[in-house]
Amino acid sequence: MILPRTVHPWEYLVITAPTRHRRALALALAVLGATSLAACSVGSGPEGGRPRSSAGPADPADRPDLRRFYEQKLAWKPCGDHRCATLTVPMDYARPGDGKTFVLPVAKAVTAVRGKRVGSLVLNPGGPGERGVRLIKDGVADDIGRDVRERFDIVSFDPRGVGESRPALTCTPAGPEAATEDPPTEGSADTTDTPTIAPLNPRTEAERADALASARATAADCRKASGPLLPHVGTHDAARDLDVLRAALGERRLTYVGWSYGTSLGTSYAEQFPRRVRAMVLDGAVDPSLDWRQRVLGQSTGFRKAVEEYAATCAGTVGDACPAATPEEIRALIDRLVARTQREPLPVEGSESGLDAAALVSALGLSMYTPEAQWEPLSEALRAADGGDGTKLAALASGEEEDTEGPEGTEGATDTAGAEGTEEGSAEAGASEGSASAVPEDNSEAALVAINCLDVPHPRDARAYWDALGPAEKAAGVHGTTGVTNELVCRDWPTGPQRPHRVKAEGVPPVLVVGTTGDPATPYEEAVGLARQFPGGMLLSFDAPGHTGYGRNPCVDRKVERYLIDLTKVRPGTTCTG
């Protein structure tokens, strides 16, 4: 399975499976799975019978002002071994005729066999902020089971504001005043002469003032660089784009696989267009009923447990590569490094700043996604760090090892953006509203912050975050306090339409939810909760550590594929073991 890399696991919806590491996985999606809790009846044949019509006055496709978007035809052109096109969607669905649009790149691997073809299988690689076009160009279709490939063409896209979308998000303002310089906050530490290390748990008034100032500066940079886009990049609107894509692909109903954050996108689609779903697999599930604090505590606790599992089972997984002989010694080594990096950064080759405690915690968290691939590099990095060299841990924290193959996903990106003539003002109109900022080649971090903050309401009062620090530390230690302080950037963000709620998707066919029992980024309990909220929802449990299940286990793979192809239900209580 070839999934995109992940960043900052404690920025809650940063949940994507780290799959540049998954070279040997047999199936291309690590994103599907299912078991069953009961389900609406499914008709015979791959379409499951004739769908009940959702057409009516409230159907967005019937709105005259959206017709030009829904009637688009994708103009496919070659891009390497695949086909690429662009899709134009309104920037603001409340005002689709104002001329402001996003132009989204779309890529397709043409794999379906004539006579067997069911339709298109649309993937979302997660994030938020990961690029679907890169997923296709990285060869995800080659790893999908043959039976699925023969029945579906494999399609993905860069969501609004992400990757090669035009306009795209950035939190780096252009020009000589790019960096936001906040004046020192009263009570903050004076760092004029000696830079200080931000504590993992700010306790004093000065430390908290500094944490607020840092978060405020980040939010200000995002507003300066992408302000007009920020209210329009949420998952609610991205799900509407997904329906426009469905129509442009010529599909009556959507067949979809979403990893991690992709489960949020899929859930939103199912709520808005329940009768347009043919099959939907949500792997590494996000429960929409949880508020920001519940999410942070759940995910942070997941990472703490995963690190403890690493210490307990390292020898059985990586053998002599473990950084110490016993679980107790590994835990002591990690504690020693946390304490050391909170006092002074570890030296990092080619870096003046070195590896601080926050980067250490990041490296630990990011290494919990695929134990079979990541625990050995982590072990080597911890051993080196204990000897005084933080270079390898810094690479893990930044995801550098995952990018060694180069930015393959950008190949042909320009062709993608220009593959289809767009209607007046589309990308250019939106871009002029954004900023003069140069969008980096990889804008996943900006997209992650922007989408997460817009999707999940956050309190404006800083006291709510300080009140969460104690319970977070008790539940998850440094993973918990880091998770809370990372949410501070969302205090000053635009508010989106979404609120914590239970799924409302009357009429949706059985949705398959895959939950991995040791998943650190999307805790298993959320998969259980999401499956129960869908009418006829099905849960497939994967008893193993790591993030997501499909593509890591033959048992999971078989059940997911049978569902995608034949809509075969998974029985309640079904569990695959790793």
Q: Can you tell me the distance from the alpha carbon of 437 to that of 412, in angstroms, rounded to the nearest whole number?
A: 22
> What number of other Cβ atoms are within 10 A of residue 31's Cβ?
33
Helix axes 205-226, 444-455, angle to 10 degrees: 110
Contacts 24+ apart (CB under 8 A), 44-50: 46/118, 46/151, 46/565, 46/566, 46/567, 47/118, 47/253, 47/278, 48/278, 48/509, 48/567
158 part of the active site: no
Among 243, 356, 519, 557, the active-site one is 519
Is 547 designated active site?
A: yes
Q: How many residues does the chain have?
A: 578
Give me the residue label for tokens 């020898």. Answer: 315
Whether 260 is a known active-site residue: answer yes
User: Taking the alpha carbons of 323, 326, 327, 333 in that order, is the dihedral positive or negative?
Assistant: negative
What's the CA gap between 466 and 460, in Å, rounded? 12
| 396 to 256, 365, 368, 381: CA distances (angstroms) | 31, 10, 11, 8
> Which candidate, 102, 92, 103, 162, places its Cα nearest to that of 134?
162
418, amino acid identity: G
- Cβ atoms of 90 and 69 within 8 Å: the answer is yes
Q: Which amino acid is at 228?
A: P
Query: What CA–CA distance (Å, rounded) separates 376 from 396?
Result: 12
Catalytic one among 8, 82, 458, 547?
547
Taking the CB of residue 364, how many other CB atoms lie within 10 A of it? 26
Amino acid at 484: V
Do residues 152 and 117 lie in contact, with contact meaning Cβ atoms separated by under 8 Å?
A: yes
| Residue 226 near residue 166 (C-beta atoms within 8 A) | no
Bridge partners of 168, per DSSP, are 161
Alpha-carbon gap, residue 291 to 577, rounded angstroms: 31
- Closest by alpha carbon to 464, among 495, 449, 448, 485? 485
Q: Check residue 93 and report its DSSP letter.
A: T
Q: Is 38 left (phi over 0), alpha (psi -120 to 50) or beta?
A: left
Location of structure tokens 């849960």: 539
Contacts of 333 (CB under 8 A, 6+ apart): 323, 324, 382, 386
Alpha-carbon gap, residue 479 to 476, rounded angstroms? 5
Type of residue numbered 444: S
* Active-site residue (options: 188, 226, 260, 362): 260
- C-alpha 525, offset from chain centre: 18
Q: Are 264 and 288 in contact (CB under 8 A)?
A: yes
> E strands of 405-564, at which residues?
512-518, 538-545
CA distance between the termini of the chain? 16
Question: What are the residue numbers of the active site?
Answer: 260, 519, 547
